[in-house]
Amino acid sequence: MKSEEYDMKRTEMNRRAFVKNVAVTAGFFGFSGLTAFAPRRSFASNVSAINLVAEASSKTMVDGTGLLVWQFRDLDGFGPGQLGAGIIIRAGDLIDITLNNGLDRDIDLRIPGVLSDGPSVAPRSSYTYSFTAPPAGTYLFHDGINGDLGRAMGLAGPMIVTPAEGENNLYTDGPAFDRQFTLVLHELDDRVNRAVASGVDFDMEDYEPNYFFVNGLSYPNTTTDDETLIAMSVGERVALRFVNAGLITNPMHFHGYHVEVATRNRQVETAVIDKDTVLVDVNECVDVILPCNQPGAYPLHTHYVPGVTANGVYVNPYGGALLVMSAD
């Protein structure tokens, strides 16, 4: 992957201007009543038999551009936000995941820490992967055969394993929370998608993404989805599960709050330090606890400079991996 050289004239990161732009949206939430908590749908919860389809689909970017993508789609549920697949299972349960391949190439299913080298699945065929659900925590599942290309095209998703007892804990006897959000970070380089659609090769060493997402959504669409808008109440402890399904590192920056990093790839952080920026590396799952100690609406965004843009457009009227935290 090339080192980033970015036209700062197009995406100049003026901090005050950034906060001012987002404040327009944040103010809307603060006074419109949208901080009221609508019942949140849950994605494929605590099931032992899961059906995944890998398929090609069309995705419309926030600027109206349509692109070919690949995705996992859960036949029995769905993922957070606009994602087609997300899995919630319980630690110790026996799990069967049937992968149905609707693509024109071999794929497989890998879950770091759980499944590392299962059989491949040929086009128009299926295979059932069986395993015992691992210890509680946040996991990433993805196709491994197609490497970076598969990830860039979208073949990845979140898997949440809840404790056998105490589902409001991050892990067994771990930090308790009042509500939780799963935030899947991803991006794409439209040249990759256009190359795949045209049947030509693309050198992934040239990968430079220009669209950025949280749960498959870009700003301002992140502010109208009830699984991506971080709605909470003062006094609550809120669990945020970051899953980096993409190919770039995201330093996630909080305005208005500090968070406690609880785990990285299910490894407990021994020194709990309040932070306003949390690094989420490629392939990494990072769980944090946000103590909600003040009302208001504040932005949460990547500090990777291009990551708050959409094809070079910065925040107004749309952007990238930027969402709003709103507390009453």
pLDDT reported for residue 44: 53
Within-domain flag for 31? yes
Same domain, 193 and 320: yes
Same domain, 300 and 204: yes
Within-domain flag for 168? no
Tokens of 112: 């770091």
Radius of gyration of the chain (CA): 19
pLDDT reported for residue 21: 53
Q: Which of 103, 135, 162 is at the close of a domain? A: 162
If pLDDT is split at 50, 70 and 90, which confidence band does 315 have?
A: confident
- d(Cα 323, Cα 328) in Å, to the nearest integer? 17
pLDDT reported for residue 40: 35
Tokens 């404040």 locate to 23
Q: How many CB atoms lie within 10 A of CB 105?
A: 15
Say if CB 46 and CB 90 are below 8 A apart: yes
Say if CB 291 and CB 260 are below 8 A apart: yes
Q: Is the pLDDT of residue 54 over 80?
A: yes
Tell me how many domains the chain contains. 2
**Phi (first) and psi of residue 132, to 5 degrees:** -90, 130
Same domain, 96 and 121: yes
DSSP 145-159: TTHHHHHHHT-EEEE
Say if CB 305 and CB 250 are below 8 A apart: no
Q: Which of 5-19, 38-52, 168-182 has the lowest mean pLDDT?
A: 5-19
Which is higher by pLDDT, 44 or 308? 308
Q: Is 192 helix (H, G, I), strand (E, B) or coil?
A: helix
Residues 6+ apart with CB under 8 A from 152: 188, 189, 192, 204, 207, 209, 246, 247
Q: Which amino acid, one-letter code, is at 13?
A: M
pLDDT one-digit tens code per residue, 65-105: 999 999 999 987 788 999 999 999 999 999 999 999 999 99
Q: How many CB atoms lie within 10 A of CB 137?
A: 25
pLDDT reported for residue 10: 38
**CATH number for the domain including 120?**
2.60.40.420
Same domain, 184 and 284: yes
**For all residues of the chain together, what is the average pLDDT?**
87
pLDDT reported for residue 219: 97
Q: Is the pLDDT of residue 244 over 80?
A: yes
Within-domain flag for 253? yes
pLDDT one-digit tens code per residue, 21-41: 554 444 433 323 222 222 334
**Burial grade of 126 (CB within 10 A; 0-12, 13-18, 19 or more):** middle
Tokens 């001012």 locate to 20
- CA torsion sign for 271, 325, 233, 23 is positive
Cα end-to-end span (Å), the chain: 42
Given the DSSP bridges, would you call strands 237-244 and 179-188 parallel, antiparallel or unpaired? parallel
Same domain, 90 and 150: yes
CA distances from 209 to 41, 236, 254 (A): 30, 36, 23
Closest CA to 247 of 153, 324, 127: 153
Q: Which of 162, 190, 207 is at the close of a domain? A: 162
- The arithmetic mean of pLDDT across residues 305-322, rounded, is 93
- The arithmetic mean of pLDDT across residues 308-319, rounded, is 92
Q: How many CB atoms lie within 10 A of CB 94?
A: 11
Q: Which of 226-230, 275-279, 306-310, 312-316 has the lowest mean pLDDT?
A: 312-316
The full length of the chain comes to: 328
Q: Is the pLDDT of residue 11 over 80?
A: no
If pLDDT is split at 50, 70 and 90, which confidence band does 229 have?
A: very high
> In terms of residue numbers, what domain contains 125?
49-162
Say if CB 80 and CB 182 are below 8 A apart: yes
Same domain, 180 and 320: yes
pLDDT one-digit tens code per residue, 183-205: 999 999 999 999 999 999 999 99
Q: Which of 140, 162, 184 is at the close of a domain? A: 162
pLDDT reported for residue 241: 98
Angle of CA points 289, 323, 52, to nearest 5°: 80
Q: Is the pLDDT of residue 316 over 90?
A: no
pLDDT reported for residue 326: 97
Same domain, 62 and 87: yes
Say if CB 40 and CB 87 are below 8 A apart: no
Tokens of 262: 């609880």
pLDDT one-digit tens code per residue, 119-153: 999 999 999 999 999 999 999 999 999 999 999 99
Within-domain flag for 170? no
